[in-house]
A and B are shown apart, each in its own frame.
Chain A
Amino acid sequence: MLSVENISLSFDTATILDNVSFQLHKGKILGLIGPNGAGKTSLIRSINGSLRVDSGKIQFKKRDMTALPPQERAQLIATVPQSRTIPAGFTVQQIVSMGRTPYLNWFGRTNPKDDQIVKSAMQRTNILKLADLPAEMLSGGEQQRVILARAFAQETPLLLLDEPTTHLDIRYQMEFLALLFEHVKKEKTTVIIAMHDLNQALRFCDEILLLSRGKVEAEGKPSKVLTENRLSRVYQYPIQIREGEDGVPAFIYPEY
């Protein structure tokens, strides 16, 4: 279980996160939504230790995440970052293998078991046939799957994704999310995924955390959190929700 307790974070005088608390059970998928600048990326970077919070506690599997050395933390948390940086001169396989780093020795030598895990990660993300190609030559959608495969190869019980589909077209978005959720359901991985697309959040997530100006605005089941009034207020734009036949929200759209 992941437990975030009263974390706050500020830069100079700007408050980025303000007393954020929530809990997430094993195997659940939490959709992190909110307007630009709400603190989604900062929350993810606080949980993975890239940012040092001013106060509060972050515990995963009853261990204090803020105190762990990088290697141990990397065995528990993998992150798919918002911006893709693919350095030149590495093959797809070399990059996916880097996901094994927290388990390897200083010289990065992989054993047959590591190689098997890397291969399986590439299979699950449909990039096995690209294994020997230079990764910087691939399309955006393929590169994003390489980074996802690297995160899978890290075999962590917690996976953080920061708007992973932002730069992809619709086909690649759906393909990416399908691959992701198939994997995490099977492995019972706990997932936090920051998203812009409210309909994707509605469809794929078990729980939603709505952030606004660094504060938790609402948290819970998608049908409870995603209401017209609340979304319209937080996004400062009239938003409507069409309900399905069973009376639960089915489609969210801005008023035109």
Chain B
Amino acid sequence: MKKENTLPKWGLILGAGVLIAVLLSIVLGSVNIPMRDFFTILRERVVGGITLSARQEKYANILFQLRIPRTLLVMLVGAALATSGGAYQGLFQNPLADPYLIGVASGAGLGSIIAMTIQWPQELQGYFAIPISAFSGAMLAVILVYSLAKVGKTIHNTTLILAGVAVSSFSNALTSFLLLNAGGELRRAIVWMMGGSTLVGWKPVLAAAPYILVGITALISMGYQLNVMQFGDEEAQQMGVPVKKVRLAIILAASLTTAAAVAFSGTIAFVGLVVPHILRRMVGNDYRQILPYSALGGAIFLLLADIAARKLLAPQEIPVGVITTLLGAPFFLYILRRTKRKTW
């Protein structure tokens, strides 16, 4: 009988991965900032007593006005999508449950657009109104998909994906309709829909962070209950899990996290599918590990995708959602093939 592994090996590896990805994301871009200048600027800000050259002043501006807030936002969004994806997979006991595939993100997108057509997020109210509206849309979508997909006591791959596609398409159609009437902001909104961050600076980071951090913390705290729920609702209840409460709490927390991510960075698909799936291969099915590691893994994955989005066609930027989809869709087909053959 083995003692539970006390040293979180994967936690250390993933933590180091986050640091490296953050560093890369800060220095790489349409303008690369040389490491030496980066550390000089850092020392100037922390210790002081150094005069920066004109070039370094320019770099400092790029760093603090653009790169660092963007890196933080991308980290938060990646962590949010991967953690809620992992939680949805555990809740639905289905490896294909991703915030996008099951329609939650589209619902959140519709919610955001509704809020944006009323108040584009230049104003302070937008930073409050949009996530809340996105959250309502996400909740509506997940409840709809859940009730549509449920056949008897189980949720099958096919019904889940079909219900997700139906709800997604419907909300996307409504979103497009609203966009056509939006007028001048159309281009921005389209880039947003493709997962391009059109929001720069610190405001979106500060607005998204509370929702995402609260949501992720809540989800991670439910790891053990999710483990027991892998036996199905009835057996979990027999083992003392308050199933209804836990399910509601997970849906609320996962939808909140997804909604905040979508509201501030648009449609970025497949992060919630790819990251937890890879981690499951490495650490097994213990959600006490999968969920926190997904947060770290999601941050790494999206940071790297975002660097690629900035560099591939520099100085032009590709919306990061395009990158994640190009990587994620083939991966999705691969999982689909596997799950046809055996359990996950």
Chain A: residues with CB nearer than 8 A to chain B? 45, 48-50, 69-71, 73-75, 77-79, 81, 85, 87-91, 93-94, 98-99, 101-102, 104, 106-108, 119, 122, 128, 131-132, 136, 150, 154
Alpha-carbon gap, A128 to B230, bound state (A): 23
> Whole-angstrom distance from the CB of B232 to the nearest CB of chain A?
6
Known A69-B242, A98-B228, A101-B239: A108·B288 in contact at CB below 8 Å: yes
Task: Chain A residues near B1: list those with CB within 8 A.
Answer: 93, 119, 122, 128, 131-132
Indicate if B2 sits at the interface (CB-CB under 8 A). yes
Structural contact, B240 and A71, CB atoms closer than 8 A: yes
Contact of B240 among A102, A132, A136 (CB under 8 A): A102
Asked if B93 contacts A70 (CB within 8 A), the reply is no
Which of A69, A107, A154 meets B239, CB within 8 Å?
A154
Q: What residues of chain B lie closer than 8 Å to A94, measured between beta carbons?
A: 227, 286
- Decide if A87 touches B285 in the complex (CB within 8 Å): yes
Question: Which of these, A70, A88, A108, contacts B224 with CB under 8 Å?
Answer: A108
Q: Which 10 A-B pairs have the closest CB atoms?
A: A89-B285, A108-B224, A74-B240, A102-B240, A87-B230, A71-B240, A101-B239, A131-B1, A79-B238, A101-B240
Convert B226-238 into 0s and 1s, putting 1 for each residue whose CB lies closer than 8 angstroms to a CB of A. Answer: 0110111011011
How far is the CB of B168 from the nearest CB of chain A, in Å? 28
Residue in A77, A88, A90, A132 whose CB lies within 8 Å of B238: A77
A106/B224 in contact, CB under 8 A? yes
Task: Please tell me if the beta carbons of B242 and A71 are within 8 angstroms of each other in the complex.
Answer: yes
**30 A-B residue pairs with CB within 8 Å:** A49-B237, A70-B237, A70-B238, A71-B241, A75-B240, A78-B238, A79-B235, A81-B235, A87-B230, A88-B285, A88-B343, A89-B285, A89-B286, A89-B344, A90-B285, A91-B2, A94-B227, A98-B231, A99-B239, A101-B228, A101-B241, A102-B239, A106-B224, A106-B225, A108-B225, A108-B227, A131-B1, A131-B2, A132-B1, A132-B2
Q: Given that A87-B230, A89-B280, A93-B1 are known contacts, is A70 also in contact with B242, CB under 8 Å in the complex?
A: yes
B132: Cβ under 8 A from any A Cβ: no
Q: How many residues from B make CB contacts under 8 Å with A?
A: 28
- Answer yes or no: B159 CB below 8 A from chain A CBs: no
Neighbouring A residues of B230 by C-beta, 8 Å: 87, 90
| B238→A107 contact, CB < 8 A | no
Chain B residues with CB under 8 Å of chain A are 1-2, 93, 221, 223-225, 227-228, 230-232, 234-235, 237-243, 280, 284-286, 288, 343-344
Q: Within 8 Å CB of A71, what residues of B? A: 240-242
> Once the chains bind, are A98 and B227 in contact (CB under 8 Å)?
yes
Output the least CB separation between B10 and chain A (Å): 15
Q: Are A85 and B235 in touch, CB under 8 angstroms?
A: yes
B200 to chain A, nearest CB (A): 39
What's the Cα separation between A136 and B232 when bound, in Å?
15
CB atoms of A73 and B240 under 8 A apart: yes
Name the residue in A45, A48, A77, A98 with the highest tally of chain B Cβ atoms < 10 Å from its Cβ: A98
Q: Who on chain B is nearest to A77 by CB?
A: B238
Q: Find chain A residues with CB under 8 A from B280 CB.
A: 89
Residues of B within 8 A of A90 (CB): 227, 230, 284-286
A98 neighbours in B (Cβ, 8 Å): 227-228, 231, 239
Complex: how many Å from CA A63 to CA B314?
Answer: 71
Set of chain A residues within 8 Å of B224, measured between Cβ atoms:
104, 106-108
In the complex with contacts A50-B238, A74-B238, A154-B239, A89-B2 CB distance below 8 A = no
